[in-house]
């Protein structure tokens, strides 16, 4: 008997500002997704290595503390976990010009709660197709 891959049911929030992270968590708590909060790309990668098959959506800031920023995290996630819906957000108006991967949806700050919930709905009901 083989172990079945768990259904994606996690929303991973990657944000260094505790207030913004808490706001995103409260919004995503209104969805069927379980919320995991981290404050750096390195912590997000650790979570993905442990539970990547369970993650339906990653909501991350472009600017993060540490060696890796949100764009680099998104690129790595697109390659290693291609079915995760990735939303990058930033208050920097130039951030959208940062050669974002095709698999990323960009959402400028301040974002609207409804827009976050729409992305969560897409992650649940219309996951990214795996790369073949």
* Structural domain containing residue 53: 10-124
Total domains in the chain come to 1
**Residue 115 DSSP label:** H
Residue 3 within a domain: no
Residue 111 CA to residue 122 CA, distance in Å, equals: 17
Q: Is 70 among the domain residues?
A: yes
Domain annotation covers residue 30 = yes
Q: Is residue 132 part of a domain?
A: no
Residue 4 located in a structural domain: no
The pLDDT tens digits along the chain (132 residues) read: 345 556 789 999 999 999 999 999 999 999 999 999 999 999 999 999 999 999 999 999 999 999 999 999 999 999 999 999 999 999 987 776 667 888 899 999 999 999 999 999 999 988 766 655
Query: From CA 47, how far away is CA 49, in angstroms rounded?
Result: 5
- Map tokens 């909060």 to a residue: 37
Instruction: Report the CATH number at residue 55.
Output: 3.40.50.2300
| Encoded tokens for 37 | 């909060």
Q: Is there a domain that residue 2 lies in?
A: no
Is 130 inside any structural domain?
no
Q: Is residue 96 part of a domain?
A: yes
């Amino acid at each position: 008997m083989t172990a079945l891959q768990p259904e994606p049911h996690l929303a991973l929030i990657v944000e260094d500002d505790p207030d913004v992270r808490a706001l995103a968590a409260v919004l995503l708590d209104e969805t069927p997704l379980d919320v995991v909060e981290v404050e750096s790309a390195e912590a997000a990668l650790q979570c993905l290595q442990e539970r990547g098959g369970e993650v339906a959506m990653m909501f991350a800031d472009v600017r993060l503390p540490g060696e890796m920023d949100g764009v680099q995290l998104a690129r790595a996630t697109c390659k290693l976990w291609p079915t995760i819906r990735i939303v990058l957000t930033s208050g920097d108006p130039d951030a959208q010009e940062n050669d974002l991967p095709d698999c990323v949806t960009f959402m400028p700050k301040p974002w609207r709660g409804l827009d976050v919930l729409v992305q969560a709905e897409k992650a649940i009901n219309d996951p990214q197709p795996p790369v073949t």
